[in-house]
A and B are shown apart, each in its own frame.
Chain A
Amino acid sequence: NAGVTQTPKFRVLKTGQSMTLLCAQDMNHEYMYWYRQDPGMGLRLIHYSVGEGTTAKGEVPDGYNVSRLKKQNFLLGLESAAPSQTSVYFCASSYGGSGNSPLHFGNGTRLTVT
């Protein structure tokens, strides 16, 4: 049981390049989330998904797109990377039901855009 796995762990992009961050969970969770964390700041919600085939915007969705084609995977795409998107990206998942549904986080992807 690997939990939440994020790939890649590190990436350097040039302005204007595109990339996709992959999040995979093996806990059969319905809900999945993408957060970004900038130095000295808390986590900000980018997009989230409440089930396969569904996505919704979070607090800071601009410049990102997501897809949830399979229940276990949640992809975060940057179509045209900007230096402002330099950040650490965390994926999380949860069961989603009422009561006991804490978030389980991956270990992050560190992205630098030059």
Chain B
Amino acid sequence: DAKTTQPPSMDCAEGRAANLPCNHSTISGNEYVYWYRQIHSQGPQYIIHGLKNNETNEMASLIITEDRKSSTLILPHATLRDTAVYYCIVRVDVTSGTYKYIFGTGTRLKVLA
């Protein structure tokens, strides 16, 4: 299974961009990268996902390197409410049409006032 590696913690000043890196060097060609965040002990919340191209939505941007071995989640203007644990995960193809999601240990992002 593809594994992800993330720094255990990061700080970011409020109003600045938060750039969260993820390494997934063993990812296969058809495996998607997903990002989630978990605030306190709530259920993880979906942020964004991508396969090859960069993606943007109302919450964040996802930059995937050309070789797909790493990606970066960008929160353009971090707020205190963005303080959370951010998980980069890979959707693994088990068989054709069958998938599972493998979580790593995540990055604890602290947004500072």
Contact = CB atoms under 8 A, between A and B. Distances in A.
Interface string A84-100: 00001010101010101
A42 B103 contact: yes
Interface residues of B, number: 22
B87 A45 contact: no
Contact of B46 (A33, A45, A48, A102): A102
A103 B101 contact: yes
A48 B100 contact: yes
Contacts of A69: none
Contacts of B41: 88, 108, 110
B87 A104 contact: no
A102 B87 CA distance: 13
A44 B103 contact: yes
B41 to A, nearest CB: 6
Given A56-B94, A102-B34, A102-B49, A45 B43 contact: no
A45 B104 contact: no
Contact of B42 (A96, A100, A108): A108
Contacts of A31: 99
10 contacts: A4-B43, A35-B103, A44-B103, A48-B100, A92-B101, A103-B46, A105-B44, A105-B45, A108-B41, A108-B42
Interface of A: 4, 31, 33, 35, 41-45, 48, 50, 56, 58-59, 88, 90, 92, 94, 96, 98, 100-108, 110
